[in-house]
Every structure is written in structure tokens, then in C-alpha cells.
Amino acid sequence: MPITILMPALSPTMTEGSLAKWLKKEGEDVIPGDVLAEIETDKATMEIEAIDEGKLGKILVPEGSEEIPVNSPIAIIIEEGEDESSLEEIDAQELPEQTTALNTSVESKEHSTDIEIIDSTADPSNLSNEVEEENPSVGNEERIFVSPLARRLAEKQSLDLSLIKGTGPNGRIIKSDIEAFSSKDLSVKADVNEKSYEYFPADNMRKTIAKRLTESKRDVPHFYLKADCLIDKLMDVREQLNARANNEEYKISVNDMMIKACAVALMKVPNANASWDREGIKLYKTADISVAVALDNGLITPVIRDANEKGLRLISEETKLLINKARNGQLAPEEYTGGSFTISNLGMFGVKEFNAVINPPQGGIVAIGAAEQRPIVKNNVLDVATVITCTLSLDHRAIDGAVGAQFLDTLKSLIENPMEMLL
């Protein structure tokens, strides 16, 4: 019986991916453990392996295809003893509802380079009607045949389908027709002011960032708390620790110490180590700190697990390793998901203070500004100290103002008296 290979969910937040490259060709033998293809997620490029033995009978989705919904069929494996004729015996109605749409798209490859994937959330009862969907006609106007994907793209861009010539089977308007028309429309606008901007299509990471942060600001009731923290003692402890390093065996950063301070503060104020979950609150038993890392094409948050139980040296080593993997696109899903709290530090860019957007589903994030010399009053005497501003963004559904204030006060105390976090 032929085995259908589905687009895997490589992380809890993954809803779709891109098929970057097929590493096996149709007709090649496969055994469990063979790498079949490379999948691009919103965070990294991952490999998918075969778990069955047989032969790659048919590739349903060609390499380079984007926005493939999770659990959509992408290929079929023929088991030992079967031949290619068994593919013809597959009843399309017995496969997942995506299979029919994908097979239709692959067959249309003979007429067009456009591969279209029907939205998996569509009502299956309407699927066959959607493939030959037509616009409501007025009077005796000619009917316009358009694929569902092309229709959605046209609606997003407010394009008039009657102005677009279809190149698909029977004159059907397909994705490539929409893209070609849009490009032509942009070129006309560029004639007016061709140097006004340069357009860069969003990749999967940027699309995911846009979607999740929009949802966060729209759905999460943020509130903000701010405190100035004196870090002269912290800088002294850091200098002493680094002085003990043998030939730069390790080097502790201010950010490493902030990770440790946040983790310890979360353990001291457990009600702040929380997130909202539909109808209740999750209280986390460990402090798993996500660290915001800027990439050329976006942002990712690798996680330092059980940071409250780790020493500064181990935190420093893990942070450096995860940052390097993040910048090389090598993070595994378990390395950037599941954190309970996030740190975002823009101090190295000279940013004095800022309000960070909560990283869902977490309940809080601390934004760390630049260290600078500021005048302070201490014991009724004017003095100068090294100060950073920490701004908490908290989800009011899970964390109340008093709890947030207690957490920030604890964090400030640990930063200003760093020996406490080492106990």
C-alpha cells in the first residue's frame, strides 16, 4: 500500500513551511533514516527523514514551493514489492483532503510553472467547486475561472480579475498570473518615481514575526513597569570573574548576568513566572530564559533552560553557542521554543530605554537599555553612578501590577547586589 509523506510540523508554532530541496529523486530506493528533503521553517532549515522502507514513487510538491500547510501530502513512497502502477490505483478520496488539490496542481505543471496549494482550512465539501470557481457575472459577461489561491492573492492586492488573462488550463487564472500582473502594475508605478523604494518579499521568518507580534499587541493587554538599576557592583563582580579566566577560557558579559538575575528573580517571585492559557494561568516551575537575538532577516529567541540552577560560566557558554547556531540557521526547534520569560537587550546600540513586545505565549519580557554615567543622590549627597534602565512588559491577564512590581524590585536588588544571585 503506497505511503503518503506529509509536511511535518517541526515546531509547535509551525503552520506552514517551504520545500527547499529534494535530496531523493523519484524512483530512488529509501530506507528508514534516509534524508528525503530539506524544509525551511520560519526559524531554520531542517531535514526530514524517511521512516519507512521502499521507493520514492511520486513527488507531489516540487522543490522551491512555499507556504505549504502542515500535514499536506508532499510525496508518496511505494513499499517493497509494489510497482509504479500501484500509484494509479490510489483512490484520491481516501487520501487527506490536500492530496487531491496537490495532485491537480502537479498535473497542471504541463501547462504552467505555477504550483498551487489549496488552504487546508477550507471546507472539503466546497473543494471541487472552488477549483473551477467563477466570479458572479453581470448580464452576459464572460465567466472568469480562477483558482482559490489566485483569488486570495487578488483580494489582498485589490486587483480586478477581469483585467487579468489566465494562463492555466482552460484559461484559468492562477498564482503566476496574479504575480505577473502585480509586477506589471508595480513597474507602471515605478515609472512615476522609480527610485522611491526597493521591494523585498518577506521570507517565512519575517512573516511569522509579523503575524505573532501583531497578535501579541492586539490580543495581549500589555502594561509596563520601569526601574533604574545601579550596576557598578555588578560590573566589579564581572571584572573579577573575568580576571580569573585563563587565557580567555571564558568571558562573562553583562547580559549573562542579567539572564541569571532574571532567572533567580522569577524563582523568588514565582507568580511572575507565568503565562495566560485561554481560561487559566500557567505557573512555570523552572526559569527558562529566552534571549532575543537579532539576525540579518529578523529575530529569534534561543532558550537558556533552568537558568536559575546554572552558574554564570555555563550560562555564558550556552548563550554564545546558541547565538552562533541562530546566526547560522542551525537552531533545532527545542532550542528556541518553550521559554517562560524573555530578555531583550539593546544597550549595545546606545538605546537608553524601550518598551518590548511580549513574546507569546509568555507573560513577560524585560527590555534592557544602555549603561551610562548618571547623577544620583545617595545619603543626601550628589554622586555619579553607572545606571541602566530596565522596562518590564507584562501580560495583565496572567500577572497583576503588584506582582510585576515585586518582581521588578527583586530584579533591581539582585542587579545592584549581584552576590545575592550567586548564593
104, 156 Cβ separation under 8 angstroms: no
- Angstrom distance (rounded) from CA 92 to CA 104: 11
β-strands 133-134, 68-69 pairing: unpaired
Which 8-state DSSP code applies to residue 351? Answer: -
Owner of C-alpha cell 503575524: 211
- Its sign, for the CA torsion 303, 417, 345, 354, is positive
Distance separating alpha carbons of residues 142 and 336, to the nearest angstrom:
52
**DSSP bridge partners of 213:** none
C-alpha span between 90 and 227 (Å, rounded)? 65
Whether the CB-CB separation of 374 and 387 falls below 8 Å is answered with yes
Spatial CB neighbours of 151, under 8 Å, sequence gap ≥ 6:
133, 161
Half-sphere exposure of 266 (CA within 13 A, CB side): 31
Q: Is 222 one of the catalytic residues?
A: no
Q: Which of 206, 396, 397, 412 is catalytic?
A: 396
- Separation of alpha carbons 411 and 88, rounded Å: 65
Q: Name the nearest CA neighbour of 120 among 94, 163, 151, 149.
A: 149
CB-based burial of residue 123 (10 Å sphere; 0-12 exposed, 13-18 middle, 19+ buried)? exposed
The beta-strand segments (E) located in 245-356 are 274-277, 280-283, 289-291, 293-295, 298-300, 303-304, 341-345
| Spatial contact of 4 and 96, defined as CB atoms under 8 Å apart | yes
The dihedrals phi and psi of 283, each to the nearest 5 degrees, come to: -110, 120
Q: Are the C-beta atoms of 369 and 388 separated by less than 8 Å? A: yes
Is the omega angle on the peptide bond into residue 270 within 30 degrees of 0, that is, cis? Answer: no
The set of cell numbers assigned to 106 is 502537479
Q: DSSP assignment, residue 60?
A: S
| Number of C-beta neighbours around residue 287 at 10 A | 25
Active site residues: 396
